[in-house]
Amino acid sequence: MSRVALTDEHWQVIRFIRDFHVEHRVQPQVGVMIRHFAAAWGAQRGSNHYLHEIFPRGGPQKQGNRLAGIRRTKGEH
């Protein structure tokens, strides 16, 4: 299994997931992450495609949640 070398962008997503979870007590949906990071990074880098590119094992919601220490998403084992 390959590992992801965590960059500043990964950590920004991880911190966003953790902060969102603390504030709302739920995991952020991918659409919420896309809107947030499109505003922060621009439309191309904040896109669904780019977020899945930097989190290749399940995208920002599944892999990002695991790295952030947030419980698994519905249906994930």
Give the pLDDT score at 74.
Answer: 57
Residue owning tokens 């920002």: 60
* Domain presence at residue 54: yes
* Domain presence at residue 22: no
* Domain presence at residue 13: no
Give the pLDDT score at 45.
Answer: 93
Tens digit of pLDDT for each residue in 15-53?
999 999 999 999 999 999 999 999 999 999 999 999 999
Tens digit of pLDDT for each residue in 54-68?
999 989 989 999 999
Q: Which residue range is the domain that position 44 belongs to? A: 29-72
Say which residue, 37 or 75, is predicted with more confidence. 37
Total tally of structural domains belonging to the chain? 1
14 vs 33: CA distance, rounded Å: 11
* Domain presence at residue 51: yes
